[in-house]
Amino acid sequence: MLRQKALRRQYNLFKTFANWWLYYAEKFGLCRLPLVFVTSNGVSVRVPRQLYPEFKSIFLREHYLEGLCLPLPGRPVVVDIGANVGFFTLFAASKWGGRVFSYEPVRANFDEMVRNVERNSHITVKCVQAAVSGAPGSVEIAGHRDETFPTTARVSPPGGTTMSEKVRAVTLLQILEEEGLPWVDLLKMDCEGSEFSILYRSTPETLGRIGQMAIEVHPNRQDDESNAGALCAFLESAGFTVRTNDKGSYLWARNRRDRPSFAQGFSMK
């Protein structure tokens, strides 16, 4: 099994990147991060040293796709919640084309994502600095002070070892309405525990406009509803077929409703 996964990562490296040799050059100390990888269809991705594991997980392991029930349609609509510096955003834009709407609350991450997107004028991505939450307004985002690009920042009271910033909060319904999205083919979520409030506070009508979800689950042991099992049950009751990985750290959900015909051909604002 481990050998199969390693071979799969190697295959994805050669398939995805025109300058795949940079991976080996870095591995054997012939060059140093940050590096700019370029996909076979010309999407450039700048990779800081701190985020190299996340880059490899998204592009080589393709871990957000491991449990998807169905392939995405041509030129899908993707919403990326918790986009960080934009690796999954660029992965989606490179793999499928279509339109990507990317939400990231932390200013340093957001600015780096914008720089990454601006390197690629041929892709259709909208970057929004906002936290996605169960209620609109504003929230305090806290993360570690020693991280240039925080990967675990979350809605939390600031503490002595953290940095914090106040940011605008939007709901899933606001995203759909403000962007004029009658249907989202893939909702990716990596938002450090906010996935529970986002989904639990969404109406069945709002959730019914999502085709598939790929969610990194961040359980809260003090809350019986903030775990993969409770989230699976909730989504199944909302009309989704759900699966998780063995550890329950990733969840994939497919709407049992087919993609509606009116979802074809609308434009990005």
The percentage of residues in the chain with a pLDDT greater than 70, rounded to a whole number, is: 94
166 exposed, middle or buried (CB, 10 Å; 0-12, 13-18, 19+)? exposed
E-only strand ranges, the chain: 35-38, 44-47, 77-81, 99-103, 124-128, 131-132, 137-144, 154-155, 162-170, 184-189, 210-216, 240-244, 250-255
Architecture field, domain 64-258: 3-Layer(aba) Sandwich (3.40)
Q: How confident is the model at residue 143 (pLDDT cuts 50, 70, 90)?
A: confident
* pLDDT 10s digits, 144-153: 766 778 787 7
* pLDDT 10s digits, 209-238: 999 999 999 998 888 899 999 999 999 999
Model pTM score: 0.93
Q: Is the pLDDT of residue 268 over 80?
A: no
In this prediction, residue 269 carries a pLDDT of 45
Ordered alpha helix ranges (H), the chain: 2-16, 21-27, 52-56, 87-96, 107-118, 172-178, 194-200, 204-207, 228-237
In this prediction, residue 164 carries a pLDDT of 84
